[in-house]
Chain A
Amino acid sequence: MLPDAAGFDPRLAWPLGAFLALLFALPLALLAGLSLQTPAGLGLSQYAKFLGDAFSLGVLGGTMRLGAEVTLACLVLGLPLAWLHARSSPTMRGLLMLVVLLPLLTSVVVRTFAWIVVLGRQDIVNSALLGMGVIDTPLRLLYTEGGVVAALTQVQMPLMVLQQALALGDMPFASAMSVIFLVAVLLVVLLGVAGALGLARSCQLSARALDGLFMAPLILPALAFGLAALMLFSAVGLPVSPLTLTLGHTVVCVPFMVRNTVASLQQLDPSLLEGSATLGASRFYTFRRVVLPLVRPGILAGGFICFMASFDNIPVSLFLRDAATDMLPIRMWQDLDVTIAALSGVLIVATVAAMLLMERLAGLSRRIT
Chain B
Amino acid sequence: MLNRRGLMTTALTIGAMHAFPGLTWAQARPLVFATSTGSWEEAHKAVLVPAFRRVTNNASIVLDPMLSVDQIAKVSAARASPPIDVMLHDPGPGLQAIAAGLVEPYPVERSAHYKDLIPVAQEPMGPAAFFQVVGLTYNPETVKTPPTSWADLWDPVYKNRVGITNLASTLGTGFLVEVARMHGGSESNVEPGFAALQKLKLNLSAVAANPGALAALYQQGQVDISPGNYNAIQILKAQGVPVEFVAPKESAIAFRTTMHITKNSSNAELAFKLIEAALSPEVQGALITSPYFVVPTNTRVKLAGEVAKTLVADQDAMRSRFVFQDWVKINEQRASWLERFNREMRA
A237 is an interface residue with CB less than 8 A from chain B: yes
The answer to whether B22 and A322 touch across the interface, beta carbons within 8 angstroms, is: yes
Contact call A338/B160, Cβ cutoff below 8 A:
no
**Residue in contact with B38 in the complex, picked from A179, A183, A319, A335, CB distance below 8 Å:** A335
Q: Are A186 and B15 in contact (CB under 8 A)?
A: yes
Within A199-241, the residues touching B (CB, 8 Å) are 227, 230-231, 233-235, 237-241
- Residue from the list A144, A230, A318, A334 in contact with B221, Cβ < 8 A: A144
Once the chains bind, are B83 and A322 in contact (CB under 8 Å)? yes
**A233 near B70: Cβ-Cβ < 8 Å:** no
Q: B32 at the A/B interface (Cβ < 8 Å)? A: yes
State the CA gap A179–B81 with chains docked (Å): 25
**Residues of chain B within 8 A of A69, CB atoms compared:** none
Any A CB within 8 A of the CB of B77:
yes
**Candidate in A318, A324, A331 with the most chain B CB atoms within 10 angstroms:** A324
Q: Which chain B residues lie closer than 8 Å to A241 at the CB level?
A: 21-23, 25
Check A337 against B14 for contact (C-beta < 8 Å). no
Q: Indicate with 1 or 0, residue by residue over A333-360, a CB within 8 angstroms of chain B CB atoms.
A: 0111110000000000000000000000
Closest beta carbon of chain A to B50's beta carbon, Å: 15
B73 at the A interface (CB under 8 A): yes
> With contacts A230-B77, A234-B78, A319-B74 known, is A179 near B83, CB below 8 A?
no
A242 within 8 A of B: yes
**Bound CA span A296–B190, Å:** 63
Tell me the bound Cα distance from A351 to B74 in angstroms: 31
Judging by beta carbons under 8 Å apart, are B80 and A234 in contact? yes
Contact: A127 with B160, CB < 8 Å? Answer: yes
Pick the contact of B79 from A179, A234, A244, A331 — CB < 8 Å?
A234
Q: Is the CB of A233 within 8 A of B336?
A: no
Q: What is the size category of the interface that chain B forms with chain A?
A: 35 or more
Is B217's CB under 8 angstroms from A120's CB? yes
B304 CB–A CB distance under 8 Å: no
Chain A: minimal CB distance from B139 (Å) = 13
Residues of B within 8 A of A148 (CB): 220-221
Q: Are B19 and A141 in contact (CB under 8 A)?
A: no
Contact B205 A337 (CB under 8 A): no
With A120-B222, A322-B22 in contact, is A334–B66 under 8 Å at CB?
A: yes
Q: How far is the CA of A117 from the CA of B15 in the complex (A)?
A: 41
Q: How many A residues touch the partner, as a band?
A: 35 or more
Judged by a CB distance under 8 angstroms, whether A167 is at the interface is yes
In the assembled complex, A246 has its CB within 8 A of some CB on chain B: yes
**A234/B32 in contact, CB under 8 A:** no
Point out the residues of chain A lying under 8 angstroms from B32, CB to CB: 323
> Among B29, B216, B335, which residue has its beta carbon within 8 angstroms of that of A337?
B216
Instruction: Say yes or no: A124 contacts B25, CB within 8 Å.
Output: no
A55 located at the interface, meaning its Cβ lies under 8 Å from any Cβ of chain B in the complex: yes
Q: Is the CB of A183 within 8 A of B70?
A: no
Contacts of A334 in B (CB 8 A): 37, 65-67
Q: Is the CB of A323 within 8 A of B206?
A: no
Q: A55-B336, A183-B15 are in contact. Are A319 and B77 (CB under 8 A)?
A: yes
- Distance between Cα atoms of A239 and B74 in the complex (Å): 12
Among the 9-residue stretches B102-110, B207-215, B284-292, B314-322, the one with 4 or more Cβ atoms under 8 Å from chain A is B207-215
Rounded to whole Å, the gap between the CB of A345 and the closest CB of chain B is: 15
How far, in whole Å, are A322 and B65 apart by their CA atoms in the complex? 12
Q: Is B306 an interface residue (CB 8 A)?
A: no
Q: Is the CB of A55 within 8 A of B339?
A: yes
List chain A residues, Cβ under 8 A from B217: 120
Q: Which residues of B contact A336 (CB under 8 A)?
A: 209-210, 212-213, 216
Contact digits for A310-333, partner B, Cβ 8 Å, 1 yes 0 no: 000000001100111000000100
Nearest B-chain residue to A245, judged by Cβ: B22
Residue of B23, B81, B159, B215 touching A234 (CB-CB under 8 A): B81
A137 at the interface (CB under 8 A from B): yes
Is A294 an interface residue when CB atoms closer than 8 A count as contact? no
Closest chain-A Cβ to B300's Cβ sits at a distance in Å of: 31
Q: Is B42 an interface residue (CB 8 A)?
A: yes
- 20 A–B contacts, CB within 8 A, in A order: A59-B339, A131-B159, A137-B160, A141-B222, A183-B15, A227-B73, A234-B79, A234-B80, A240-B83, A242-B18, A242-B19, A242-B21, A243-B18, A319-B77, A323-B34, A324-B30, A331-B37, A334-B37, A336-B209, A337-B213
Interface residues of B (CB under 8 A from A): 11, 14-15, 18-19, 21-23, 25-26, 29-30, 32, 34, 37-38, 41-42, 62-67, 70, 73-74, 77-81, 83-84, 159-160, 204-206, 209-210, 212-213, 215-217, 219-222, 335-336, 339
